[in-house]
Amino acid sequence: MIPQMKLIILDFDGTLCDTRSTIVKTLQMTMQHFELEVLDEQTCATSIGLPLKEAFQKLHPQLDDEEATACADTYRIIFEDNKDALKPKLFPEVLETLRELAARGYDLTIASSRSNKSLLGFVEETGLSDIISMVVGANDVVNAKPHPEPVLKIMEARGVKAVETLVVGDMHYDINMGRNAGAYTCGVTYGNGSREELEGCNADFVIDRFSELISLNLN
């Protein structure tokens, strides 16, 4: 790990937990409910990482604010049913790697566009609550990714500087959020974003396995 690093800010969906199928299915069911064009999986996945209202407006630009808000509200209702039927799991090596990083003294936190309530529930269910020191969800900030507010909020609360912070995520929203805050960034290729996308937004590191976090080095 980078010698001066103290704080690691992790995305959740597509970085720690494989929630893609649950999210995509819920997006599609919401589109069907409102008689919108039901988009394919790959197209839906491009919106993962955005707050729900923005996600629906990205996927269906014709929606006004009121319509997009209604879609987001309905999505949350449907998601509560889907998350039990399509229970997401942590990606390989995530739990073991996080426990090793915690044992080495790194401060582990999460910044997500998911609502705080949903996020805290997943953190508890996946066994991460004892190693994650702080969780920032969509309703904890005014400005969501790629705005730096989530990262700045965590850095301030944990008393850590940008040069001591690494932001890890699977989408360009995560990388741009970290870069906008002046932090180091690391993209993961096994989630919803491609290596080309992550390298294209100038991530400092791009890894294929979560366990590679342990050996990151600037040299």
Q: By the 8 A CB rule, do 120 and 113 touch?
A: no
Could you give the CA distance from residue 97 to residue 210 in angstroms, rounded to a whole number?
Answer: 7
Residue count of the chain, please give it: 219
Catalytic residue among 13, 18, 107, 170: 13
Q: Which of 11, 18, 140, 170 is catalytic?
A: 11
Distance CA 115, CA 124 (A): 14
11 catalytic residue (yes or no) = yes
DSSP count for the chain of H helices, then E strands: 9, 8
Cα 159 from Cα 98, distance rounded (Å): 21
Separation between Cα atoms, residue 150 and residue 141, nearest integer Å: 7
Q: Confirm whether 174 is a catalytic residue.
A: no
* Residues 168, 142 contacting (CB under 8 angstroms): no
Task: Give the residue from 211, 191, 197 showing the smallest Cα distance to 24.
Answer: 191
Residues classed as catalytic: 11, 13
